Amino acid sequence: MTQLDERDATDSTAEAISAASRGSAEYRADPYPVYACLRESAPVCHLSPPHGVDTYLITRYDDAKAALTDPRISKDMYAAMDAYHTIFGDSSVALDDNMLFSDPPKHTRLRRIVNSAFSPRRIESLRPRIQQITDELLGKCVTTEPVDLLASFAFPLPLIVICELVGVPENEREDVQKWCAVVARTGFSKADKDKLAVAEGALRDYFAELIARKRENASDDLLGALIRTQDEQGAMTDGELLSTLWVLLFAGHKTTAYLIGNAVFNLLTHRDQLEKVLADPDLLPNAIEEVIRFEGSVENATFRHALEDIPMRDTVIPKGCLVQVAVSSANRDPEKFESPDTFDVERKGLQSAHLGFGSGPHYCLGAPLARMEMRIALTTLFEKFPRVDLVAPAREAEWLKVPFPAFRGLERLPVA
């Protein structure tokens, strides 16, 4: 490398770190060039995000996978209370008393209680109802006008499914969706934090009231079952139950909704790949895994923090710092995936390789449900509307702009 090349490389690394720190608009619209640069020249880098807590971003596959399973990198938000208060204000604390934000043994205890509801057999039993909801929603999309597939289909489908599974009555779902939307879009300004506090307060009150109602009148949905387990040893406390309800509803619909959007968008913008799936429907499960790798709906795994100084690559993540694992960068690492920027529905060995559902103890509990919803949604959509197409050119796609890249998804998906 000449001196000039070296200076260019240093400049572009500094720019990439700055873009990732600020959550710049260009980075949010297309994060992959930033990640490619960081993987190459600063795979474990220090960010100074607007929330003000020192953060280390991990972008290579091997490091990401190791970090997701490293017991020195904790998910226990109560152990990092100062950092959490700084980022979110006080409001999130009660909602985060769940498996997603805890370490063993608490994590093991909380996850085990809910696990059986997500067994492959239980999930398979939901198939007819998921198909019925899909048919109903797509039936309403029969029109000559353009339709926003996200608002009309991708969001309602997983929301209805998870609400029915958990036991949220139909006429109360719109409020839940509205409050969840505020939480998903939150930034770090004072105004954002105030809005977040209001939405989270509303969710807490609602869940507390729903739990009280179901205690009065036993039900055979998941919430009813969880309430019954509260008599057993090692059961959930009331706070953990409320917070578990929250994580199931939130994780159970946003992620899947954005993924349906990303799948439809990428299939419609890679016609040759769509043709392959239409010609051989057995390819669909693999195509879904490839969407999760290529453009999954979770860009960065949820916050973690270092319990001690952790040497990684040529740096040390200091004790107490936040750790962000960029799973969408890991999924484009050329050391792991050949031609990672190519969308290839026939790619081999994906399911156990991509990190789109995380890895280790916090591996997505809802993955079997998400996979089934995706299969039913895509099969039915392309069967019912074989000539469906984007209304706007692909380059005008509007990706989520929230500065913190938890989700990768579209604002809207107009199709005809």
DSSP for 326-387, written as a single string: -HHHHTT-TTTSSSTTS--TT-SS-TTT--TT--GGGS-TTHHHHHHHHHHHHHHHHHH-TT
Q: Is 23 in the site for ligand HEM (CB under 6 A)?
A: no
Q: Minimum distance from CB of 301 to ligand HEM (Å)?
A: 4
Residue 31: partners with Cβ closer than 8 Å, 6 or more residues away: 20, 299, 328, 329, 405, 408
Q: In terms of C-beta density within 10 A (0-12 exposed, 13-18 middle, 19 or more buried), how is residue 214 classed?
A: middle
* Closest distance of CB 64 from ligand HEM, Å: 10
- Closest of 362, 102, 39, 89 to residue 236, by C-alpha: 102
State which of residues 43, 49, 89, 358 lies at the interface with ligand HEM (CB under 6 A). 358
At 189, which amino acid appears? Answer: S
C-alpha distance from residue 147 to each of 138, 152, 233, 390, 413 (Å): 11, 7, 50, 10, 8
Nearer of residues 37 and 244 to ligand HEM, judged by Cβ:
244
Span of 249-257, 344-352, 375-383, 398-406 interacting with ligand HEM by CB under 6 A: 249-257
Rule CB under 6 A: is residue 248 a binding residue for ligand HEM? yes
Interaction of residue 259 with ligand HEM, rule CB under 6 A: yes
Binding mask 129-158 for ligand HEM (x = CB under 6 A): ------------------------------
Minimum distance, C-beta of residue 211 to ligand HEM, in the bound complex (Å): 17
- Tell me the C-alpha distance between 369 and 365, whole Å: 9
Residue from the set 55, 91, 92, 256 that interacts with ligand HEM by CB under 6 A: 256
Nearer to ligand HEM, 38 or 162 (CB): 162
Output 204 or 304, the one with its CB closest to ligand HEM.
Answer: 304
Q: Which residue is nearest to ligand HEM (CB)?
A: 366
Identify the residue among 92, 177, 297, 328 touching ligand HEM (CB under 6 A): 297
Rounded to 5 degrees, what are φ and ψ at 287? -60, -35
Between 37 and 64, name the residue whose CB sits nearer to ligand HEM: 64
Distance of alpha carbon 382 from alpha carbon 388, whole angstroms: 7
Nearest approach in angstroms of CB 281 to ligand HEM is 20
Q: Which two tokens stand for residue 162?
A: 């998870």
Task: Decide: 297 and 408 in contact? Cβ < 8 Å.
Answer: yes
Does position 241 bind ligand HEM by CB under 6 A?
Answer: no
Instruction: Check residue 87 for interaction with ligand HEM (CB under 6 A).
Output: no
Kindly state the tokens that stand for 21: 């720190």
Asked whether position 357 contacts ligand HEM by CB under 6 A, the answer is yes
Binding flag, residue 296, ligand HEM (CB under 6 A): yes
Dihedral angle computed from the Cα positions of residues 68, 72, 75 and 78, in that order, rounded to the nearest 10 degrees: -170
Which is nearer to ligand HEM, 118 or 188 (by Cβ)?
Answer: 118
The yes or no reply on residue 89 touching ligand HEM (CB under 6 A) is no
Provide the 3-class DSSP secondary structure of residue 147: strand
Pairing state between β 315-317 and 310-312 = antiparallel
Using rule CB under 6 A, residue 294 touches ligand HEM: no
Interaction of residue 199 with ligand HEM, rule CB under 6 A: no
118 phi and psi, to 5 degrees?
Answer: -115, 20
In terms of Cβ atoms closer than 10 Å to its own Cβ (0-12, 13-18, 19+), residue 233 is exposed
Write each residue from 45 to 74 as x if it is in contact with ligand HEM (CB under 6 A), else as -, in one continuous string.
-----------------------x------
Other CB atoms within 10 Å distance of the CB of residue 394: 11
Token couple for 174: 């719109």
Closest CB 363 distance from ligand HEM, rounded Å: 7
Q: Does 252 bind ligand HEM (CB under 6 A)?
A: yes
251 binds ligand HEM (CB under 6 A): yes
Using CB under 6 A as the binding rule, whether residue 305 contacts ligand HEM is answered as no
Nearest distance from C-beta of residue 259 to ligand HEM, angstroms: 4
Strand-strand pairing, 322-325 and 304-306: antiparallel
CB nearer to ligand HEM: pick between 129 and 271? 129
Which H/E stretch holds residue 74?
A: strand 73-74
Count interface residues toward ligand HEM (CB under 6 A): 27
Pick out residues in 325-354 that bind ligand HEM (CB under 6 A).
327
Residues that bind ligand HEM (CB under 6 A): 68, 99-100, 111, 162, 247-248, 251-252, 255-256, 259, 296-298, 301-302, 327, 356-358, 362, 364-366, 369-370
